[in-house]
Amino acid sequence: MKHITLNGTIREAAGKAAVKAIRKAGLVPCNIYGQGMDNVLFTVDAKELKAITNTPNSYIIDLKLSDGKEMMAVLHEAQWHPVTDEAMHIDFLAVSEDKPVVINVPVQVTGHSEGVKLGGKLYVAVRKLRISALMAKLPDFIEVDVTSLQIGKQIVAGDLNIDGVNIVSPKGTIICSVLATRASQQAAAE
């Protein structure tokens, strides 16, 4: 999986007024936590953060904090302003190479479905799946081949089998399906 570097500045104040001042300065308040470590409060430049939040890709984030600490993390949760869609708060989860990482990974649909050739319409229901794997086995994306998909059929998360990766999303999660259109129903009737 791809890595991206993010620089953060340690912050001491955690009150409402302090956080408001941080946001006004163009920074986003952040928090990193994980097993066996204390929570660390820090801020990140809002423009720098967009490289992570405004993309469909998932990344392992190499955090470099102002106190000299460096740690690997994944984006765990983000809070957004309801009107401006600006990031208001970000939670990161510290990860290590020897423990499985749970992360959302983009789904990439490939192939030209048999059902679409017969007049059906391909409907992609899920753009990301939640998976768990060791950091060395994490894929950049999950490839789903729809070449043999017929009209009225679907591919669910339980159908996928990826070596070294455990799919955490529910097994019944529909990834994509081919739906019948009026034109395909008329052709079948004739």
pLDDT tens, position by position, 126-180 = 999 999 999 889 999 999 999 999 988 999 999 999 998 999 999 999 999 999 8
What topology is assigned to 3-95 in CATH?
Answer: Ribosomal Protein L25; Chain P (2.40.240)
- Residue 8 CB burial class (10 angstroms; 0-12, 13-18, ≥19): buried
In tens, the pLDDT along 51-106 reads 999 988 999 999 999 998 899 999 999 999 999 888 999 999 999 888 999 999 99
- Determine the Cα–Cα distance for residues 13 and 61; give it in Å rounded to an integer: 24
pTM of the model: 0.81
* Joined tokens for residue 26: 């163009």
- Domain parsing of the chain, residue ranges: 3-95, 102-189
How do strand 70-80 and strand 128-133 relate by DSSP bridges? unpaired
Is 3.40.50.10490 the CATH classification of the domain at 102-189? no
**Intrachain domains 3-95 and 102-189 with the same fold:** no
- N- to C-terminal Cα distance for the chain? 50
pLDDT for res 8: 93
CA-based nearest residue to 156, from 141, 175, 137, 170: 175
Residue 64 one-letter amino acid: K
